[in-house]
């Protein structure tokens, strides 16, 4: 019995020793695990920091790309606006040229019409001059015939002379008007 008890005690002692040893190993293992976990955590933090830096770098590059695209879009918009302005200016210039051509055409038409009127007045004036000359010729012919036949009294002769003078003055005025009209041409 004693031996059994000794054996039991020995087993218990060994068991306790082993338990302590395992606890020691566990403690050492725990410290090692903690150290490893710390190292892993540090490595993970480094990787996270690295990933964060890469993320920030990618975000910056994305921002730069967006900014480039924005600038390109602005340039394109400006180019479109410039093209529109040039197109509008070309339209305005075209309209202005068309208006100017229309005005020139109207001026030419007015000038042609004015010239036509002046020519008509000249023709009319020449007709009046010819009529006046015929009138003077008729009056002079009547006066000459009347004097030769002795039908006219001195009063009648004066009347005919006044009529002839008046017709000559009118003829002279018509010739002056004709000269003025010819100068307008």
Q: What is the residue range of 176's domain?
A: 43-184
Buried b / exposed e along 84-100 (16+ C-beta atoms within 10 A): eeeeeeeeeeeeeeeee
How many CA atoms lie less than 13 Å away from 69 in the CB half-sphere?
A: 6
Q: What angle separates helix 154-184 from helix 2-149, to the nearest 10 degrees?
A: 160
Q: Flag whether 51 is in a domain.
A: yes
Cβ–Cβ < 8 Å for 167, 135? yes
Q: Flag whether 24 is in a domain.
A: no
Q: Flag whether 35 is in a domain.
A: no
Q: Flag whether 17 is in a domain.
A: no
Break the chain down into helix, strand, coil percent, rounded to 5.
95, 0, 5
In this prediction, residue 174 carries a pLDDT of: 93
Q: Flag whether 8 is in a domain.
A: no
Q: Flag whether 1 is in a domain.
A: no
In this prediction, residue 133 carries a pLDDT of: 94
User: How is 102-121 classified by DSSP, letter by letter?
Assistant: HHHHHHHHHHHHHHHHHHHH
Q: How far is CA 7 from CA 19, 21, 51, 138, 150, in A?
A: 18, 20, 61, 187, 204
What is the total count of domains within the chain? 1
Q: How far is CA 83 from CA 33, 77, 93, 96, 145, in A?
A: 72, 10, 15, 19, 91
Degrees (nearest 5) of the Cα angle 69, 75, 91?
A: 145
In this prediction, residue 33 carries a pLDDT of: 74
In this prediction, residue 146 carries a pLDDT of: 87
CA distance 21 to 17: 6
CA distance 104 to 96: 12
pLDDT in tens, the chain (185 residues): 667 766 776 666 666 666 554 544 554 566 677 777 778 878 778 887 888 888 888 888 888 898 999 999 899 999 999 999 999 999 999 999 999 999 999 999 999 999 999 999 999 999 999 999 999 999 999 989 988 888 888 898 899 999 999 999 999 999 999 999 889 87
Q: Flag whether 56 is in a domain.
A: yes
Q: Flag whether 108 is in a domain.
A: yes
Q: How far is CA 50 from CA 55, 56, 86, 90, 176, in A?
A: 8, 10, 52, 58, 110
């Amino acid at each position: 019995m004693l031996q059994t008890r000794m054996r039991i005690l020995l087993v218990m002692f060994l068991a306790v020793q082993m338990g302590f040893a395992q606890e020691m190993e566990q403690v050492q293992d725990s410290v090692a695990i903690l150290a490893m976990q710390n190292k892993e955590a540090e490595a993970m933090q480094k990787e996270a920091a690295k990933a964060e830096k890469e993320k920030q770098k990618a975000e910056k590059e994305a921002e730069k790309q967006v900014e480039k695209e924005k600038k390109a879009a602005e340039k394109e918009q400006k180019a479109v606006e410039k093209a529109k302005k040039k197109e509008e200016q070309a339209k305005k210039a075209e309209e202005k040229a068309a208006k100017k051509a229309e005005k020139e055409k109207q001026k030419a038409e007015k000038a042609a019409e004015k010239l036509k009127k002046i020519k008509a007045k000249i023709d009319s004036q020449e007709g009046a001059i010819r009529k006046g000359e015929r009138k003077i010729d008729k009056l002079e012919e009547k006066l000459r015939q009347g004097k030769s036949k002795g039908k006219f009294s001195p009063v009648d002769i004066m009347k005919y002379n006044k009529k002839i003078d008046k017709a000559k003055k009118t003829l002279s005025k018509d010739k002056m008007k004709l000269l003025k009209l010819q100068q307008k041409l």
